Chains A and B, each alone.
Chain A
């Protein structure tokens, strides 16, 4: 039975590669990259072996703990994780529990993350090459640590299995995970600064982690190298006990999960709340706007764009602190205007086949385009206003308000107009309705990047008048150019918005059935 599960996992892995040549090439390139990085890592570990034992301990324990933590956290927050051997799928088969546990655990090691973790853990032996006893212990501990990763990860996955079948949990977690990913740079820099500021910090952290399940197996070889055999034995016993406890808990939760099929508890709600539909005019345009705005409020793929908005100034603030140059902060407004305006450039791709409703009701292209533009404007206008005025006000450079407001308004209006044209003409694979906004669908590839890059270039060209005037303002310091930027941004932007909605509408009227067919490919 264990062999069956392993063979199943291998077959799934092989078949997933067979689906497309390009996917295979991607996996091979990714694999080579991963192997290259792994090779470098092992070399680095080997070279690091001449460092002091104390430093080696800190590096190994902290890095190793991070790996274990990653294994636990990733399945909790990611709905795109490899769940090929999802315990929920074995509910209907009568597999004896010990064999199921062993099969699932080994199956989890086979697979790219598992193999890389195991190889990296074994590579850790190289760092102990000057301490033969520690190196021998490190081999055993590397294998046990990988097992711990897998068991802890599966336990986490089983524990949240009932949660992940709930739509609300999926929606929320897929957005929460965006925050650390966007702020990854500052977070890493913060941790690095922590190490720099206090020399003892790494040592203290490693000492604490060494007695937690995260770092226990990574600290044992260090104890052996120090000659602290009693501590090593104690720690090893603690690690094995932890592993056994986790395995036991996993078995318990699995046994429970297998007899409690996942279900989505939904409270029934009666009619009476039309939300945005009762606040917008009862016209096709108003209805499209209300629908789009409801999605901005409820669909994680759209909410992701909103979550990013307040993070942009945070990110820029961080880089401003790093460089000591705060002038870039004044450009937060135009940047947010660009991000939000561009976010509807794939609106029909996001609708996926639900778009048939627009087609079958014969809604005009103008109403479809205008409604979507209106919805994003409702969200973007206040956000752009706040983030244009705010930084100028804080930095006491309100005299730049006309020029920056002109840029923001110009970029926002032009961008929405241009997106209205783009989404009526080009569709590409985006995360499907209900999927995590981070998920990259298969076959995304070239067309998407081409549309994005060319789109950005065209958009830049369209706002050149405002840009030129703004540059003239900053070069000459003449406030006339500032006011001119505001006027041109408003007037030209409004004209391009109307033109974009009109042109997009015409293209839509001509090609709506083809659009439906294009999005249906990715369903």
Chain B
């Protein structure tokens, strides 16, 4: 599918990195969810954000995309300050959040159309891109089904389509492959790869290390609201695999002999 960062959504400052995060912090009551995160996502990179459950990945990405107001810190998308000029910044970004609802009483087709029209796109462009996206994500046969009746994987895919409709120059995807079947996941990876090779930037959060190691060129390991390591995937993992390096950084591996009764022989 010819998805590339469109001229309208093109970088305002092409020379500046796709996403710059400085000193981002958020506290929920007693709990510090994000504790001073710095990240640089270069333009044209495929960036993986990995971390254990509750590490602050979703909170960081929510603050980076203008969905959650940070207590401290700043975020720039292609040089545009997200919290000072939110409307401009949001034009550059396509977002797939995790753990939120969709307007699920719309059909899949209506939902993606809605996302396009909300961004002020004209009807013909929206219709054309909706058809393309539904085909690319293998949702054409279910386009008229209500999203509330979709399976978890289909719901992810329709949300991804809503994030792509305006051809953003930065894609922020929170757990995009969760519950998605392997064929669809491969299709999505193809779409994202061609998007990156045409100059777009992607940041994905995941806890599937293999996937990040194969798919991404950059990675950051985040735990307890702090960045433990960041850089190109090769820099982060060194000599070992990303998974081993991740476990080494984060800790908490349970190596004791356990569940002996579970062995069947």
| Minimum distance in angstroms from B128 CB to a CB of chain A | 12
- On whether the beta carbons of B114 and A271 are closer than 8 Å, the reply is no
Decide if B103 is an interface residue (CB 8 Å cutoff). yes
Residues of B within 8 A of A (CB-CB), count: 46
Task: Scan residues 56-92 of chain B and give those whose CB is less than 8 A from a CB of chain A.
Answer: 65-69, 86-87, 90-91
Q: Is B173's beta carbon under 8 Å from chain A?
A: no
The CA of A374 and the CA of B110, in the complex, are separated in Å by 19
What A residues does B66 contact at CB under 8 A?
A: 359-360, 362, 513
Q: A189 to B117, alpha carbons, bound, how many Å?
A: 52
Q: Are A299 and B105 in contact (CB under 8 A)?
A: yes
Report B27 CB to chain A, min CB distance, Å: 13
- Chain A positions within 8 Å of B114 at CB level: 277, 287, 290-291, 357
Query: A272 to B117, alpha carbons, bound, how many Å?
Result: 17
Whether B90 contacts A357 by the Cβ 8 Å rule is no
A145 at interface, CB cutoff 8 A: no
B117 touches A282 (CB 8 A): yes
- Give Cα A288–Cα B113 distance, bound, in whole angstroms: 11
The complex places the Cα of A73 from the Cα of B48 at a distance, in Å, of 53
Select one of A275, A357, A360, A363 contacting B103, CB under 8 A: A357
Question: Is A203 interfacial (CB 8 A cutoff)?
Answer: no
B106 pairs with A356, CB closer than 8 A: no
Contact with A along B85-122 (1 / 0, CB 8 A): 01100110101010111111111011001110111101
Question: Are B115 and A356 touching (Cβ within 8 A)?
Answer: no
> Is B136 close to A, CB under 8 A?
no
- B144: interface (CB < 8 Å): yes
Contact of B109 among A274, A282, A351, A354 (CB under 8 A): A274
Whole-angstrom distance between the alpha carbons of A299 and B147 in the complex?
A: 13
Residue pair B87, A356 in contact (C-beta under 8 Å): no
What residues on B are CB-neighbors of A268 within 8 Å? 141-142, 144-145
A363–B90 alpha-carbon span in the complex (Å): 10
By beta carbon, the residue of chain B nearest A356 is B100
Residues of B contacting A348 with CB < 8 Å? none
Bound together, the chains give a CA A288 to CA B110 distance in angstroms of 12
Inter-subunit contact A360/B120 (CB<8 Å): no
- List 16 additional A-B contacts (Cβ < 8 Å) besides A273-B109, A353-B100: A264-B149, A268-B141, A270-B144, A271-B130, A271-B140, A274-B109, A275-B110, A277-B117, A284-B119, A287-B117, A357-B103, A360-B90, A360-B95, A362-B119, A363-B118, A513-B67
Residues of A within 8 A of B (CB): 167, 264, 266-275, 277, 282-284, 286-288, 290-291, 294-295, 298-299, 351-354, 356-364, 433-434, 513-514, 516-517, 520, 523
